[in-house]
Amino acid sequence: MSGWILLPVFLPILAGAALLIPLPGRKKEEELHLFVIVTLAISAILALTAGRGGEGSVTLFYLMKDIPVYFHVDSLGGLFAAFMSIVWVLTGIYAFTYMKHEGKQRRFFGYYLIVYGVLVGLYFSGNLVTMYLFYELMSLTSVPLVLHNGSKEAIMASLKYLFYSMCGAYMGLFGIFFLYKYCDTLEFVPGGSLNLTLASGHEGILLLACFVLLLGFGVKAGMLPFHAWLPTAHPAAPSPASAVLSGIIVKAGVLAIIRAVYYVVGADFLRGTWVQTAWMTLTLLTVFMGSMLAFREPVFKKRLAYSTVSQLSYILFGLSVLTLAGMSGALLHTVFHAFIKTALFLTAGIFIFCCGKTRVEELKGIGKKMPKTLWCCTFASLALVGIPPASGFISKWYLAQGALEGDVGVFRWLGPVVLLISALLTAGYLLPITINGFLPGKDAEAESKAAQAPKTMLIPLAILAALALLLGIFPNLLINFANDIAAAVM
């Protein structure tokens, strides 16, 4: 039965690779879309089935005699696989229509399937080395999604994305070298596997290694000072790629940090150290800076990219306080943000696809022609701001509680204050889009000319917007699941 874990990893990778092979008889568009959606649906079912109950493991091969490439499904990996699969399938359906005007659909969907399989491999990794291999592979295979249209802007953006990703991964590898020496195992053990006897007398170098590791994996999550790739890569990529990049792929950095801190090093080793203080400081600076840059940015997709920089550090701050409530809030915000930010990027894609509008000021009066799209954008925006009963309120409540409960000095009150200021800034850069879209005034109302959004694009958007709202109204199941994960590693 354990071998079933490999199917959701390698089935989409092989299917995607098959699409990249040039063949004499090319698939028709309808056949291509059917092939992609069936592959995604089967892979998603297999991934969710493998994750149910948090059981199952398999060793693929050994890199060294004591370092296997090893897969194990636990609750954390199952949670990431679940929300990623939902987003990936819905965005794939949306992309069937959107990619018609981008062209080269076969190549796009080939890499789209490959990245899905690589992400499942990342989530189901059973040790730090296996996770690192799939982390690197994810960066390499997602680059073609950014440079898809082949423009100079896209090429430069993809190179910047690759450079930042590789540098961050190497910093993470530096930390892994030290953890290998001082840990009993690199397998993921709730609470950590650091051997305190071996580490005794070497705490200084271990803390430095942990800090470098946090910085390295923080690159993918857009943490200061390595955030610059996000606002460059998002506008250059097609909107479906931007959506999964912002909603899902950046969460690889979050997962890597969770695994390293809570499943290898152990929260107790970092609690009260300079590493925790520096980590909390960087996350709060990133939260505030990202929100300010988003508030000032006139290009819609770039504004959303800066917003991702800020929102990802909400999650990292929750992890950095090293409390149960903070960890629960971080997991909840990881899920909620995936649905919310994907919905917002799909909204931006509809505005581009239907009327060619990329800047915020061009969206005045858009609600008169595209009310359904703008209502979906509104629900997602309210959730991101954290207005009850939308989902963002739940996760931000837990994040604030996590800070207040922690023995973190000035950060007990500074964290909630920064989160509140950021929420106000989030309202400032998202809600005017709704206000000006529905209530533009007489002059702007006549300027809005837009076609109706196709149902194949609107339905996935509506589902994501509904999830952003409903998970705040009915959050108990997810809260209990997040609390169970957090309790196991504290």
pLDDT digits (tens, 9 = 90+) for 155-193: 888 888 889 988 888 899 998 988 888 888 888 988 888
Domain range enclosing 433? 271-490
For 148, other C-beta atoms within 10 Å of its C-beta total 23
* DSSP single-letter state for residue 245: I
For 354, other C-beta atoms within 10 Å of its C-beta total 19
In a domain, 167, yes or no: no
Q: What is the pLDDT of residue 202?
A: 84
Cα gap 258→252, rounded to integer Å: 10
The shares of helix, strand and coil residues in the chain, as percent rounded to the nearest 5, are: 75, 5, 20
* 231-259 pLDDT tens trace: 888 888 888 999 999 999 999 999 999 99
Q: What is the pLDDT of residue 449?
A: 53
In a domain, 323, yes or no: yes
In 194-273, which ranges are continuous DSSP H helix?
196-199, 203-220, 229-236, 239-244, 251-260, 267-270
In a domain, 198, yes or no: no
Sign of torsion over alpha carbons 130, 136, 140, 142: positive
Hey, what amino acid is at 435? I
> What percent of the chain has a predicted confidence (pLDDT) above 90?
57
Among 43-52, 397-406, 474-483, name the one with the lowest average pLDDT: 43-52
Cα gap 254→479, rounded to integer Å: 18
For 195, other C-beta atoms within 10 Å of its C-beta total 13
What number is the average pLDDT over the span 357-364? Answer: 86
The yes-or-no verdict on residue 93 having pLDDT over 80 is: yes
Structure tokens at 445: 């109302």
* 448-457 pLDDT tens trace: 455 678 889 9
Structure tokens at 210: 């942990």
* Overall number of domains in the chain: 1
End-to-end CA distance of the chain: 31
In a domain, 113, yes or no: no
Q: What is the pLDDT of residue 445?
A: 46
Report the length, in residues, of the chain. Answer: 490
For 225, other C-beta atoms within 10 Å of its C-beta total 12
In a domain, 307, yes or no: yes
CB–CB of 43/8 below 8 Å?
yes
Q: Give the pLDDT band of residue 323 (cuts 50, 70, 90).
A: very high
Mean pLDDT of the residues in the chain: 89
Q: What is the pLDDT of residue 54?
A: 47
Q: What is the pLDDT of residue 81?
A: 93
In a domain, 304, yes or no: yes
* 273-321 pLDDT tens trace: 999 999 999 999 999 999 999 999 999 999 999 999 999 999 999 999 9
The yes-or-no verdict on residue 446 having pLDDT over 50 is: no
The yes-or-no verdict on residue 2 having pLDDT over 70 is: no
Q: What phi, psi does 292 have (nearest 5°)?
A: -65, -45
CB–CB of 336/262 below 8 Å?
no
In a domain, 67, yes or no: no
Q: What is the pLDDT of residue 24?
A: 62
In a domain, 394, yes or no: yes
Structure tokens at 366: 């858009």
- The DSSP result for 132-174, as a single string, is HHHHHHHHHHHHHHHSTT--HHHHHHHHHHHHHHHHHHHHHHH
0.85 exceeded by the pTM? yes
The yes-or-no verdict on residue 443 having pLDDT over 70 is: no
